Amino acid sequence: MSAPTVRRRQLGRTLRALRESLGLKQDDVAARSRGKLNGAKVSRIENAKVAASAADVTLILDAMGVADDDLRAGLLKLTREGARRGWWQSYRSVLSPEYEDLISLESEAEQISTWQPAVIPGLLQTGEYARQIITATAMSAAVEERVDALVEVRLARQSVLTRETPLTLWAIIGEAALRTRCSDERIMHDQLGRLLALATRPTITIQVLPSTAAPHVGQMGSWSILSYGAHAELSVAYMESLTNALYVEERQDVAIYQDAAEQLRAAALPTGRSVEMIREIRDQK
């Protein structure tokens, strides 16, 4: 991925669906453009690997013989919006391409479901807790030098929770994450207090999966699912490790993670009991 916005993905999938409905191959579209496009470029646009220009999209639509003015206008609007800059691009010098991808997709998501067995989800972290986690997981001197900027980015990401139409977040957190021992007990006390405050918001649901739970699908690792309302085909599952990140976009594969999330919701404590556990652990700090 190369920082594709949701709009670029939507544009690409719409163009691909139009082409396939006409029985055309990518090379056929390129040939009809009389040398102005090639099959590789059509492929990159359809797969949101590059930001298409309005001229490129116009060429593709002309090559496919799409004459519907409303459809053309809508796709050109997606093209312009897909190329716009996001706030995170001013941090490009400290962000990996994979992290840019996540922030780009997150900024337009309508709903996120996340399972984190050992760490508080980034969208719910305090600044001091974020600093502890980023520092602890920094596996190179280069990352250590960027801690301040990375904390700023993590906190800036949380604006999706307070925008005009807030993101809906469903977070399932492992009990182990709540019992993390930071260098200063106040850090974890404040972090748990933040969880309690956020849990009162109507757009945020927090559940705790206790350490005494029976074996469950979440033991295979953490993940997040980003969803886009009526555009179910744009949903993506995201997983992160020390060295890279993985995006799952095929609908049948994303559906597996969605089913796993439902299983974890059923296995976790109800929201009321989850809040009680968070409060009990905080009060022990």
Q: Is the pLDDT of residue 5 over 80?
A: no
* Residue that is last in its domain, among 51, 82, 113: 82
- Report whether 46 contacts 26 (CB < 8 A): yes
If asked whether residues 183 and 71 sit together in one domain, one would say no
Q: What is the pLDDT of residue 3?
A: 52
| CATH number, domain with residue 234 | 3.30.870.10
Same domain, 118 and 177: yes
Q: What is the mean pLDDT of residues 118-142?
A: 92
Q: Which domain holds residue 275?
A: 88-124+156-283
- Looking at residue 157, its pLDDT comes to 97
Q: Is the pLDDT of residue 108 over 60?
A: yes
Does one domain contain both 115 and 213? yes
Residue 117 lies in a domain: yes
- Confidence class of residue 231 from pLDDT cuts 50, 70 and 90? confident
17 against 207, higher pLDDT: 207
Residue 1 has pLDDT above 70, yes or no: no
Same domain (yes/no): 107, 225: yes
Q: DSSP for 78-138? A: HHHHHT---GGGGGTTT--HHHHHHHHHHHH-SEEEEEESSS--GGG--HHHHHHHHHHT-
Burial of residue 52, with CB atoms counted within 10 A of its CB: 0-12 exposed, 13-18 middle, 19 or more buried: buried
Over 80: is that where the pLDDT of 211 sits? yes
Residue 223 pLDDT > 90: yes
Residue bearing the bigger pLDDT, 102 or 268: 268
Q: Are 177 and 246 in a shared domain?
A: yes
In a domain, 21, yes or no: yes
- What average pLDDT does range 240-255 have in this prediction? 88
Mean pLDDT computed over every residue of the chain: 92
Q: Which pLDDT band holds residue 141 (cuts at 50, 70, 90)?
A: confident
Q: Which residue has the higher pLDDT, 93 or 261?
A: 261
Contact 150, 94 (CB under 8 A): yes
Tokens of 250: 């095929």
Tell me the average pLDDT across 189-196. 98
- Here the CATH number for the domain that contains residue 33 is 1.10.260.40
Confidence (pLDDT) at 67: 92
pLDDT of residue 245: 86
Give the tens place of pLDDT for each residue, 47-100: 988 889 999 999 999 999 999 998 898 899 888 877 777 899 899 888 888 888
171: helix, coil or strand? Answer: strand
- Do residues 99 and 206 share a domain? yes
Q: Which region among 12-26, 57-71, 138-152, 156-170 has the lowest average model confidence (pLDDT)?
A: 138-152
Do both 73 and 174 map to the same domain? Answer: no
Last residue within a domain, chosen from 82, 100, 133: 82
Q: Which of 141-145, 213-217, 256-260 has the lowest mean pLDDT?
A: 141-145
Domain assignment present for residue 143? The answer is no
The string of pLDDT tens digits covering residues 23-44 is 999 999 999 998 899 999 999 9
State residue 273 phi and psi, 5-degree precision.
Answer: -70, -35
167 and 207: one domain?
yes
Indicate whether 45 and 94 sit together in one domain: no
Question: For the ranges 104-108, 195-199, 205-209, which has the lowest average pLDDT?
Answer: 104-108
* 174/242 same-domain check: yes
Q: Do 75 and 168 sit in the same domain of this protein?
A: no
Residue 129, in any domain of the structure: no
In a domain, 131, yes or no: no
In this structure, are 101 and 236 located in the same domain?
yes
Q: Which residue has the tokens 């989850």?
A: 274
Q: Is residue 139 part of a domain?
A: no
Q: Flag whether pLDDT at 126 surpasses 70.
A: yes
Confidence of residue 4 (pLDDT cuts 50, 70, 90): low
In contact, 235 and 228? CB cutoff 8 Å: yes
* Domains contained in the chain, number: 2
